[in-house]
Chains A and B, each alone.
Chain A
Amino acid sequence: EDKVVQSPLSLVVHEGDTVTLNCSYEVTNFRSLLWYKQEKKAPTFLFMLTSSGIEKKSGRLSSILDKKELFSILNITATQTGDSAVYLCPIRGGSEKLVFGKGTKLTVNP
């Protein structure tokens, strides 16, 4: 059964800190790993990763995938209070559905 484990489950930092969120997975027929930011309710799409070693970057956020070791990381540099959210990294395997972990709740204090 496909599975995602995120760590840490919760993280509190101060503005300006750099954080790394971890996502490990088990999947048959891997197709993609996605990162979403969830504030309040709607998960907002950040990145889609399909190949190992290729960094995706958007402003202060970046992510990379390691298909050999079955994990991905999301880095956020110079954190801001607006980065406070739950970060989700679902995987897409042999079917169309996304399989989620519990997410990492990031709190950035001023």
Chain B
Amino acid sequence: GAGVSQSPRYKVAKRGQDVALRCDPISGHVSLFWYQQALGQGPEFLTYFQNEAQLDKSGLPSDRFFAERPEGSVSTLKIQRTQQEDSAVYLCASSTGLAGRTDTQYFGPGTRLTVL
């Protein structure tokens, strides 16, 4: 596609529910990133994939957060037993994955998750 797409754009969940957020990266992009952006803050890194391999998950805040990219393209971020503090915008970004300094990350529109 022309850009990174994410769905749903908005999600309201009751505390304790499980949610799944989807990201479609730019076609051919090897690297895929998930970030969490709380209100009034900058995005914070959650996890990173190169193709289907999850190379860095150091930013996942708890074991309730799980991400996968089984075929190296579409990725899903799953949050189990949602809590109010999970309310945020979840941004997905992709890049070519070329080695070196100049690889640019392009962001999707995000999913705004509200946990009641």
Residues of A within 8 A of B (CB): 4, 31-32, 34, 36, 40-45, 48, 50, 88, 90, 92, 95-103
Contact = CB atoms under 8 A, between A and B. Distances in A.
Contact of A34 (B4, B41, B56, B104): B104
A97 to B, nearest CB: 4
A18 to B, nearest CB: 24
Given A43-B107, A96-B55, A88 B31 contact: no
Interface size class of B (residues with CB under 8 A): 20 to 34
Given A88-B42, A96-B48, A42 B102 contact: no
B25 interface: no
Given A31-B101, A32-B102, A96-B31, A41 B40 contact: no
A44 B112 CA distance: 17
B103 to A, nearest CB: 8
Contact of A41 (B33, B45, B91, B102): B91
B70 interface: no
B114 interface: no
A97 B48 contact: yes
B18 interface: no
B72 interface: no
Contacts of B93: 98
20 contacts: A32-B102, A34-B105, A40-B109, A41-B89, A42-B4, A42-B110, A43-B43, A45-B105, A88-B42, A92-B101, A95-B56, A96-B31, A96-B103, A97-B33, A97-B48, A98-B33, A98-B43, A100-B44, A101-B42, A103-B42
